[in-house]
């Protein structure tokens, strides 16, 4: 495969090559996707130290992705950094440093605001309008939407099930109460949709559900973090939020913002004039006698 021209293509190439890489190169793949700014600004020595690998391993990793070396691969990360608009994070960090944190509460609030704005910046960079439209179309076409998430991602599933229900979309929150999760998932049909959310460290039950649904031909819509997420191979549409390294308290700002955008996009498609003729055409005409037409008689 040719070396990737931009970061999005690079992430896809890494995800495709990941199963074939050695354990050490897989460790590098995980690191560079989670710390793209550090790769863009560092040297081969500093990046290798941060990734806890020898510099030669970074060069082997670049070569495995058909780059001429680390410097050539690094250009992809530097181009991404130049294209991004990170001024809000920088301004908030500067404000926090200048004012200090005289009051503990104010200091904590500034920290979370700073991290939340940075998350939203990553979200806008990583989520594309075409993917949002495709995801909304999946929801609109589905006979029923089954929403599954666990642990930290569970509030995302709760919000999506509530908000989609307000649009009169047939939706079911899959919570697995009483150990019934496998039984519920087994009943999902191929004309329905499984919407899953999971972030590092990923829920095993959610991964297994997405894999099983995909194998049975059920469309899967996934909200996750990185290109190496185990949900991505099973998803018809996959949102990778790129939340960066693990903070002490992981935020739900980005996934909830994405969920709101998805719900509004679904609402737009449901009321779009282009959908109305299709619904009218699907309704069979009733003859003047009041009797329904008989199609395919004698077959």
Same domain for 171 and 254? yes
Tally of CB atoms within 10 A around 268: 12
Same domain for 78 and 143? no
What does the chain come to in residues?
299
Q: Which of these three, 24, 50, 83, is where a domain ends?
A: 83
pLDDT at 188: 92
Same domain for 178 and 264? yes
Q: Alpha-carbon distance 224 to 221, whole Å?
A: 10
Could you tell me the CATH number of the domain that includes residue 138?
A: 3.40.50.10490
pLDDT at 93: 58
Same domain for 62 and 143? no
Q: DSSP E strands: which ranges in the chain?
A: 145-149, 171-174, 193-197, 220-224, 237-240
Residue 225 CB partners (closer than 8 Å, separation 6+): 199, 200, 240, 241, 242, 243
Same domain for 263 and 163? yes
pLDDT at 84: 59
Classified as helix, coil or strand, 3 is coil
The two structure tokens encoding residue 150? 């666990």
Same domain for 243 and 182? yes
Answer whether residue 79 is part of any domain. yes
The two structure tokens encoding residue 77? 């990360």
Q: Name the β-bridge partners of 124.
A: none
Compute the average pLDDT of residues 66-94: 72
Nearest of 200, 233, 236 to residue 220 by alpha carbon: 236
Q: Which of these three, 51, 83, 115, is where a domain ends?
A: 83
Answer whether residue 222 is part of any domain. yes
The two structure tokens encoding residue 273? 């004039």
Answer whether residue 286 is part of any domain. no
Answer whether residue 179 is part of any domain. yes
Same domain for 136 and 267? yes
pLDDT, tens only, 183-198: 888 889 999 999 999 9
Give CA torsion, residues 82, 88, 93, 95, to 10 deg: 140
Answer whether residue 199 is part of any domain. yes
Give the model's confidence band at 94: pLDDT under 50 very low, under 70 low, under 90 confident, else very high: low
Q: Alpha-carbon distance 218 to 189, whole Å?
A: 6
pLDDT at 280: 39
Q: Alpha-carbon distance 134 to 144, whole Å?
A: 17
Percentage of the residues of the chain whose pLDDT score is greater than 90: 37
Q: Which domain holds residue 39?
A: 7-83
Same domain for 54 and 145? no
- Burial class, 52, CB count within 10 angstroms (exposed 0-12 / middle 13-18 / buried 19+): exposed
Same domain for 139 and 208? yes
Cβ atoms of 174 and 145 within 8 Å: the answer is no
pLDDT, tens only, 125-134: 778 889 999 9
Residue 142 has pLDDT above 90, yes or no: yes
Answer whether residue 104 is part of any domain. no
The two structure tokens encoding residue 98? 């200048």
Same domain for 142 and 263? yes
Give the model's confidence band at 86: pLDDT under 50 very low, under 70 low, under 90 confident, else very high: very low
pLDDT, tens only, 221-262: 999 887 788 888 899 999 988 765 555 567 888 899 999 999
Domain count, the chain: 2
Residue 184 CB partners (closer than 8 Å, separation 6+): 146, 172, 174, 176
**DSSP 8-state symbol, 191:** T
Give the model's confidence band at 285: pLDDT under 50 very low, under 70 low, under 90 confident, else very high: very low
Answer whether residue 171 is part of any domain. yes
Name the average pLDDT for the chain: 80
The 3 state secondary structure assigned to 123-154 is HHHHCCHHHHHHHHHHHHHCCCEEEEECHHHH
Give the model's confidence band at 176: pLDDT under 50 very low, under 70 low, under 90 confident, else very high: confident
Same domain for 78 and 148? no
Same domain for 152 and 51? no
Answer whether residue 299 is part of any domain. no
Compute the average pLDDT of residues 68-74: 90
């Amino acid at each position: 495969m040719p070396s990737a021209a931009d970061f999005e293509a690079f992430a896809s190439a890494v995800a495709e090559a990941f199963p074939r890489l050695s354990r050490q190169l897989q460790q590098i793949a995980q690191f560079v996707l989670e710390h793209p700014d550090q790769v863009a600004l560092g040297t081969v020595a500093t990046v290798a130290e941060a990734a806890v690998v020898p510099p030669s391993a970074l060069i082997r990793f670049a070569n495995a992705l058909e780059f001429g070396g680390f410097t050539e691969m690094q250009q992809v990360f530097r181009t991404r950094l130049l294209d991004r608009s990170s001024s809000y994070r920088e301004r908030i960090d500067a404000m926090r440093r200048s004012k200090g944190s005289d009051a503990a509460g104010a200091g904590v609030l500034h920290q979370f605001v700073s991290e939340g704005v940075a998350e939203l910046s990553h979200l806008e960079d990583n989520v594309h309008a075409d993917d949002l439209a495709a995801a909304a179309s999946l929801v609109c076409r589905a006979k029923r939407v089954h929403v599954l998430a666990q642990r930290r991602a569970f509030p995302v599933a709760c919000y999506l099930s509530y908000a989609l229900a307000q649009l009169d979309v047939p939706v079911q929150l899959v919570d697995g109460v009483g150990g019934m999760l496998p039984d519920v998932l087994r009943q999902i049909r191929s004309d329905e949709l499984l919407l899953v959310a999971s972030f590092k460290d990923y829920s095993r039950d959610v991964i297994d559900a997405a894999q099983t649904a995909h194998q049975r031909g059920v469309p899967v819509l996934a909200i996750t973090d990185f290109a190496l997420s185990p949900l991505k191979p099973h998803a018809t549409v996959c949102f990778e939020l790129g939340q960066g390294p693990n903070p002490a308290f992981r935020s739900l700002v980005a996934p909830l913002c994405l969920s709101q955008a998805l719900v509004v996009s679904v609402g737009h498609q449901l009321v779009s004039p282009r959908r109305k003729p299709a619904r009218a055409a699907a309704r069979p005409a009733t003859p003047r006698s009041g009797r329904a037409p008989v199609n395919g008689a004698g077959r």
